[in-house]
């Protein structure tokens, strides 16, 4: 049976995404870090050891460079199958180099431990890729092994309270990512291991790391899982309100709160999400921090969006061709409002499905209005020229209205894309989840179409 790894870096099923955000020093081996090969080499010690240490540094740098090259290599082959096989081989080579780099640097000084962290992060990302290529013949225990190595790296980082701080953060990120993936893939002990590790981190002698551990404990307490029952989510919402009823919101708290609310919304528990959006909109409005305070209006917009089902949606704006939207002219049609951007992978992945449904139902009264959240008119125009989308797209590049600040995005509290809103012929919203198969199902209901059995079928 094939196993699905949908989001390898959604730590703790929505609740620990903050880890990546608060660990800016974590090093990865992707193409956005082309200078990794020239990271500082280990410092010399005694004069007589300079030559030997220089050779060690060169060997380490060579492995880092080899890893970087492999991570950026494009697959080759004349057929899709050949390209896939070549890509898999490259990933296996990268895995071997990452193992070699880790073995060489894991027991070294703090300056070398950063390379060990790089190796583990690269190994983790490569394992995710290999799992997706051939999940049926893949041992998920490899993720537990990465987590164990990450814990060892974390312990090594304690030996140098100053220079080891960056390595400690890297190790923390690696352990949580690896255990989160293992848990998603059914490793029963991964969750308890994660909890124990976070408890240990909260007692770290380094104040910065300990503070992060305590924040992670709070996130673990307010953890939403994909199989959580509606009653349990309601209870969590009440507990979350109680937790913050009499204390000020911090920047770290905001990330955790948003992950909980987004988790409830993704699971279709809109009433719990609305309750929390309202509660925290008031809390954010009282904050003395401008960045938190401005989130209040976004949360108010999200409440407006989640209350749309059964109501009419207000829509306005300017299309890319400069014409103004005449929303009244769409009355009598079934319309999908699609918030998207050219850089959004899931948005692009949904396009074939959206185009297929548009072709099937457009002549019967189905239409689409795109609301683009790119920051550049040239970028979105180039994308549309290539894709040849048949519907019109709203876009604004006015000062203060670009990207996420598009008026129709702020009005409805859009904080993630793709976001879609399906509207019936009467102008009332009927769904906030009209993507994939659900879109086709809803459109068939709207146009009263059923698949007719073929001749000979019984």
Looking at the structure, do residues 161 and 49 belong to the same domain, yes or no? yes
Q: Looking at the structure, do residues 337 and 390 belong to the same domain, yes or no?
A: yes
The answer to whether residues 85 and 77 touch, using CB atoms and an 8 Å cutoff, is: yes
Q: How far apart are CA 178 and CA 146, in angstroms?
A: 6
Per residue in 359-387, pLDDT (tens digit) is 999 999 999 999 999 999 999 999 999 99
Q: What is the pLDDT of residues 336-345, one digit of tens each?
A: 999 999 999 8
Residue 242 has pLDDT above 60, yes or no: yes
Same domain, 396 and 276: no
CATH classification at residue 374: 3.40.30.10
* Domain termination site, one of 160, 195, 221: 221
Q: What's the whole-number mean pLDDT along residues 430-434?
A: 94
| pLDDT of the residue at 47 | 52
**Does 341 map to a domain?**
yes
In a domain, 41, yes or no: yes
Mark whether 404 and 430 lie in a shared domain: yes
- Residues 254, 165 share a domain: no
Q: How far apart are the first and last CA of the chain?
A: 30
Reported as a single tens digit per residue, the pLDDT across 185-201 is 888 889 899 999 999 99
Q: Sorting pLDDT into bands at 50, 70 and 90, what band is 6? A: very low
| % residues pLDDT > 90 (the chain) | 61
Two structure tokens written together for 83: 């390209």
269: region left, alpha or beta (phi > 0 left; psi from -120 to 50 alpha): beta
In this prediction, residue 188 carries a pLDDT of 86
In a domain, 371, yes or no: yes
Among 164, 186, 221, the domain boundary falls at: 221
Range of the domain at 338: 327-446
pLDDT at 334 over 70: yes
Q: Are residues 216 and 242 in the same domain?
A: no
Residue 244 and residue 210 share a domain = no
* ∠ Cα 297 302 306 (to 5°): 150
CA Rg value for the chain: 25
**pLDDT band, very low/low/confident/very high, at 218 (cuts 50, 70, 90):** confident
Q: What phi and psi values does residue 420 have, to the nearest 5 degrees?
A: -125, 150
Confidence at residue 71, expressed as pLDDT on a 0 to 100 scale: 86
pLDDT tens by residue, 255-299 = 889 889 988 988 889 999 999 999 999 999 999 999 899 899 999
Out of 272, 306, 340, a domain closes at 306
Judged against a pLDDT cut of 50, whether residue 448 lies above it is answered with: yes
What is the reported pLDDT for 49?
Answer: 54
The answer to whether residues 271 and 154 belong to one domain is: no
Could you tell me if residue 257 is inside a domain?
yes
For residues 441 and 355, the answer to whether their CB atoms sit within 8 Å is no
> For the residues 147-163, what does the mean pLDDT come to?
88
Asked whether residue 191 falls in the same domain as residue 53, the answer is yes
- Mean pLDDT within 227-238: 92
261 and 409, same domain (yes or no): no
Domain count of the fold of the chain:
3
Where does the pLDDT of residue 26 fall: very low under 50, low under 70, confident under 90, or very high at 90 and above? very low
More confident residue, 44 or 216: 216
What mean pLDDT do residues 55-73 have? Answer: 89
Q: Give the pLDDT confidence score for residue 225 in this predicted structure.
A: 81
Note whether 277 and 297 are within 8 A (CB): no
In a domain? residue 456: no
Q: Which two tokens stand for residue 229?
A: 């029952």
φ, ψ (nearest 5 deg) of residue 454: -75, 160
The pLDDT-based confidence of 110 (bands split at 50, 70, 90) is low
Is there a domain that residue 384 lies in? yes
3 state DSSP class of 253: helix
Task: Please provide the DSSP assignment of 377-437 as one string.
Answer: HHHHHHHHHHH--SSEEE---STT-SGGG-HHHHHTT--SSSEEEEE-TTSBEEES---TH
Q: Are residues 343 and 261 in the same domain?
A: no
Q: Please report whether residue 322 resides in a domain.
A: no
pLDDT at 52: 58
Within this chain, do residues 30 and 151 fall inside the same structural domain, yes or no?
A: yes
Q: In the structure, what pLDDT confidence band is assigned to residue 51 with cuts at 50, 70 and 90?
A: low
**Position 65 in a domain:** yes
Q: What angle do CA 415, 419, 423 make, to 5 degrees?
A: 130
**Where would I find the H helices in 244-376?**
251-266, 270-285, 290-293, 295-306, 345-361
């Amino acid at each position: 049976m094939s196993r699905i790894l949908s989001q390898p870096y959604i730590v703790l099923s929505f609740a620990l995404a903050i880890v990546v955000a608060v660990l800016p020093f974590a090093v990865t081996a992707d193409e956005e870090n082309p200078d990794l090969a020239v990271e500082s080499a280990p410092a010399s010690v005694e004069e007589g050891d300079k030559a030997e240490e220089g050779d060690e540094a060169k060997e380490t740098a060579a492995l880092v460079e080899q890893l970087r090259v492999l991570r950026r290599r494009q697959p080759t082959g004349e057929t899709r199958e050949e390209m896939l096989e070549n890509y898999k081989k490259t990933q296996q080579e990268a895995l071997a180099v990452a193992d070699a780099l880790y073995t060489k640097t894991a027991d070294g000084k703090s300056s070398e431990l950063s390379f060990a962290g790089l190796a583990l992060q690269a190994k983790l990302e490569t394992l995710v890729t290999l799992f997706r290529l051939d999940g049926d013949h893949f041992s998920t225990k490899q993720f537990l092994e990465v987590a164990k190595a990450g814990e060892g790296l974390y312990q090594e980082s304690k030996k140098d309270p100053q220079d080891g701080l960056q390595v400690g953060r890297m190790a923390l990120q690696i352990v949580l990512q690896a255990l989160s993936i293992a848990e998603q893939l059914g490793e029963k002990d991964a969750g308890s291991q994660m909890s124990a590790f976070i408890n240990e981190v909260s007692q770290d002698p380094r104040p910065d790391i300990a503070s992060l551990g305590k924040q992670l404990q709070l996130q673990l307490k307010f953890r939403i899982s994909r199989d959580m029952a509606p009653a349990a989510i309601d209870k969590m919402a009440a507990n979350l309100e109680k937790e913050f009823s009499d204390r000020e919101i911090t920047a770290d708290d905001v990330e955790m709160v948003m992950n909980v609310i987004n988790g409830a919304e993704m699971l279709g528990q809109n009433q719990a999400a609305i309750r929390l959006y309202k509660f925290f909109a008031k809390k954010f409005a009282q904050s003395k921090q401008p960045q938190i305070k401005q989130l209040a209006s976004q949360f108010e917009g999200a409440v407006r969006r989640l209350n749309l089902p059964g109501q009419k949606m207000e829509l306005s704006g300017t299309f890319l061709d400069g014409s103004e939207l005449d929303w009244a002219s769409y009355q009598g049609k079934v319309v999908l409002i699609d918030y998207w951007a050219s850089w959004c992978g899931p948005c692009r992945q949904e396009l074939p499905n959206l185009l297929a449904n548009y072709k099937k139902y457009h002549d019967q009264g189905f239409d689409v209005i795109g609301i683009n959240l790119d920051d550049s008119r040239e970028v979105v125009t180039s994308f549309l020229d290539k894709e040849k989308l048949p519907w019109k797209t709203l876009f604004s590049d006015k000062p203060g209205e670009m990207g996420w600040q598009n008026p129709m995005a702020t009005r409805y509290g859009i904080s993630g894309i793709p976001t879609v809103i399906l509207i019936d012929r009467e102008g009332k919203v009927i769904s906030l989840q009209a993507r994939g198969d659900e879109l086709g199902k809803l459109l068939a209901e709207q146009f009263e179409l059923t698949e007719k059995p073929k001749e000979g079928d019984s």
